[in-house]
Amino acid sequence: MDGFQVVSRKKKGKRKSTGAPDILVNTTLVSDNISDTNLRRKVNLARDSITCTDFYTDFKAKIKECLNKVPCIHHEETTESQPKDQIQYVVPDEIVSYGLGNFAECLIARYQLALLVALRDDLQVPPNSVLLYDPKFLSVEKDVLTSFGFQVLKENEEAKRCCERPTLFYMPHCGKSLYNNLLFANWSPDRLCHVVIIGNSFTNMVQNLPSSTLKRCAPLVMNIQPFTEEVVFPGNFQYQDVFNDTVIHVFPKDNLSKTAVEFWEDCSTPTYDEDDLEFIPKS
């Protein structure tokens, strides 16, 4: 499997399988001279292996229910092509992905990209409205992303993208400070209500990390968590470490309206100690 091996739970005797998902283990790296045609084929194979699963059926229902909670700016255009007997949802103006990683080398990143490709197609997001950035992208990876109709951002935004329209951020397994930067850029109820984040659970961060760590690395995550709705990813994907701890975050206006005005005013530009920095800053 392209330098990766699947580690399955061992069975003893005739004991029945527990149905626990497999784990992907990176044992070697793919060489840099992989062709864009071959890499695109591998991504398509991963996408096809995802879209035929119960996991993907469950995921589609969850993401559409979450998008239905986002204020709709152009309702008629959004729902016009959607079957009346299915969940109505807001089609995001953009999907923005940060920190995907090297999907030519990492099978976890490849499956995450495969889900993004399938999601773009299923939501019918307009061409060139899916934007990605990772400072580690190889040239061949940029070529493959472009061939899928995606835009590779040239500038390191450090996830500080301000949203005035419905935007889905695809950030599985990113560092805490990147989520914090994204919240900072949209720190108002009128902007944050348009944001949907697929990424690591804010609730788990707050519950499992010392408050001192969060105050340094992700104070806005800690502040917004009580007003955030999280929808957990389906747990039935074949490989448990591809989407582990991944949830869909939405920020309903009704929740945000419960905050005081001062809640939004006390927000300074994030700064991080070098030891706490979990992303590559722009130079």
Average pLDDT score, the chain: 87
Encode pLDDT of 18-49 as tens digits: 455 677 655 334 545 789 999 999 999 999 99
Instruction: Report whether 198 contacts 182 (CB < 8 A).
Output: no
Residue located via tokens 């996991």: 55
Apex CA 104: angle with CA 102 and CA 108, to 5°? Answer: 65
Encode pLDDT of 109-128 as tens digits: 999 999 999 999 999 998 89
Beta bridge partners of 25: 5
Encode pLDDT of 42-71 as tens digits: 999 999 999 999 999 999 999 999 999 999
Q: What is the pTM of this model?
A: 0.88
Model confidence at 277, pLDDT cuts 50, 70, 90, reads confident
Query: What span, in angstroms and rounded, lies between the C-alpha atoms of 161 and 183?
Result: 9
Encode pLDDT of 1-20 as tens digits: 444 344 444 444 443 344 55
Residue located via tokens 């009580």: 226
Query: What span, in angstroms and rounded, lies between the C-alpha atoms of 257 and 98?
Result: 28
Backbone angles phi, psi at 170, to 5 degrees: -110, 100
Tokens, residue 225: 């968590």
Instruction: Report whether 136 contacts 53 (CB < 8 A).
Output: no
pLDDT over 90 (residue 283): no
Encode pLDDT of 192-225 as tens digits: 999 999 999 999 999 999 999 999 999 999 999 9
